[in-house]
Structure 1
């Protein structure tokens, strides 16, 4: 496969319905924009509906005739996730593509409305629940995919801390982010194993490398100070960061269980290709345990 895969490599997506979480900004916006440009019906699933409408307007300005919808989805609330899933069942009974993109990174210790540590709750549990609630709309659709956006941070001080998943005893925002991104990968792999016998839907993971997005708002102050100087050297535009997600979502050669990221050194920048994740991310025993705990915490059982 060529390492020069670009947004122009995305095949036509006519008659396909794509749900993209966190689509009002950054990677999600760029993913939604390209999918719309290639003909998909795109649902922007966002916490702030007004910002979602503004994003849809910006896409429509670039893509005349784009078929767009905005769906309220607050991943900090399982009630909101259930409401969004119910509304999507009514408006889009068939879904071809679910992109679990939204996320938070390095915030001060906060909890979701259900009492989960914010990064684990939003990045992993919210998307776990959403996927489980929407999966029956994907399973009958040939070629349907679930794409979960992870991060190179799944290697950074990362483990699944089953003895303190919500960081109640002590909190390290970098390690907590690493746990949430490791959980994203483990979910993607375990989901693929459970989907394998279905023969229609596949689960794929992707990461953007180091992309210039709103996620950096909580980056420590010393790093923010030097970002104007080193940023151009170590980050890429959101439009490039979205390419691994787009390839995972649309390339006909993609296989279930693969992981896509930038082809450059340390997977920081570059065009997307299949990449490897940490040994720990492939630990099937931990994957299954995480799945069971996630079902218990969210109350969501998957129809597979």
Structure 2
């Protein structure tokens, strides 16, 4: 599905003076590029990062208003501390942080690490911050969602043989289903807040460098050189989703072949990522797993 009429880049960002944007994982890669561009056009950008020292070093490279706050998405206690410490409005929350195709691991709360960081952490963070959010939530997914499947009976890979690629795909599909159900709930509540998803295509970042598999690492390094677009280009869909007047429920990605590279556009998603029943079931499991629910004050009346 193509609706874009121009080759949109970060240079087309409007002034966002006076707005507050929270970006998870903003100390490197796509998050850092997005932070630089949003600060450049006047936003106050909050870098929500696991390592405050690395966050401070990243913030020092950004021209504009920035703030660094600690956030470990693999620890729900840290997520709650971040949310409890927030006061004031957030115009845009960008759920960007993630890990990719790592060896089997567990978060502090016992979740499979990719699902725990990529989905459960952002699920809890968004719902806890939602009373503060005025404009939109942007949740970053991936084309890897197309090879993902949700196993509601074994989300955390406790019975299945672990597949790092399958686990990553499951987490990225969960990101899209979360965005879809959040959109439905906000609409039902009559909220003006939008829920949109975005993906960067195939972008060369350090995300691909933590697999713990030498062969996989080498293969992805070669692909980064030959196929991938730059982190700057990969951040365009995130920036477009965060700043443009697009409908809630939209999915933004590159407009090129296979959505690997190109300029931001509204793009399609897999059939599973459009399954409203599955989205509701994933939401219910996420509430039970994290102990965090959609805010009562925003529930449909």
| TM-score normalised by structure 1 residue count | 0.93
Tell whether 2:88 aligns with 1:49: no
Secondary structure at 1:187's aligned position in 2?
Answer: helix
**5+ unaligned residues in a row in structure 1: which ranges?**
none
Cα RMSD between the aligned structures? 1.2
Q: Alignment partner for residue 94 of structure 1, among 83, 89, 93?
A: 89
1:34-45 alignment, distance < 5 Å? 34-45=37-48
Which residue number in structure 2 is paired with residue 28 of structure 1?
31
Corresponding residue to 1:198 among 190, 205, 212: 190
d(CA) in 2 for partners of 1:80, 1:56: 21
SS in 1 for 2:249: coil
Q: Secondary structure at the match of 1:88?
A: coil
Correspondent of 2:141 among 147, 150, 165:
150
Helix, strand or coil at the partner of 1:42: strand
Partner of residue 296, structure 1: 288
Q: How far does the alpha carbon of each residue in 1:213-257 deviate from its partner, in whole angstroms, 9 at most, with x for none? A: 1110134433433455543331011111010010000012x1100
Deviations 1:113-156 (A, max 9, x none): 00000000000000000000000001xx3xx0100000000001
Give the whole-Å Cα distance in 2 for the aligned partners of 1:297 and 1:163: 13
Question: Number of matched residues?
Answer: 290
Correspondence for 1:241:
234
Tell me if structure 1 keeps the 8 A contact 2:83–2:129. yes
The ranges of structure 1 where at least 4 consecutive aligned residues each deviate by more than 4 angstroms after the TM superposition are 226-230
Which runs of structure 2 are paired with 1:231-270 in the superposition (5 Å)? 231-252=224-245, 254-270=246-262
Match of 1:167 among 157, 165, 172: 157
- What's the counterpart of residue 183 of structure 1? 174
The normalised TM-score by structure 2 is 0.94
- Unpaired segments ≥5 residues, structure 2: none
CA contact (8 A) 2:49 2:71 kept: yes
Q: Cα distance, 1:200 vs. partner?
A: 1.4
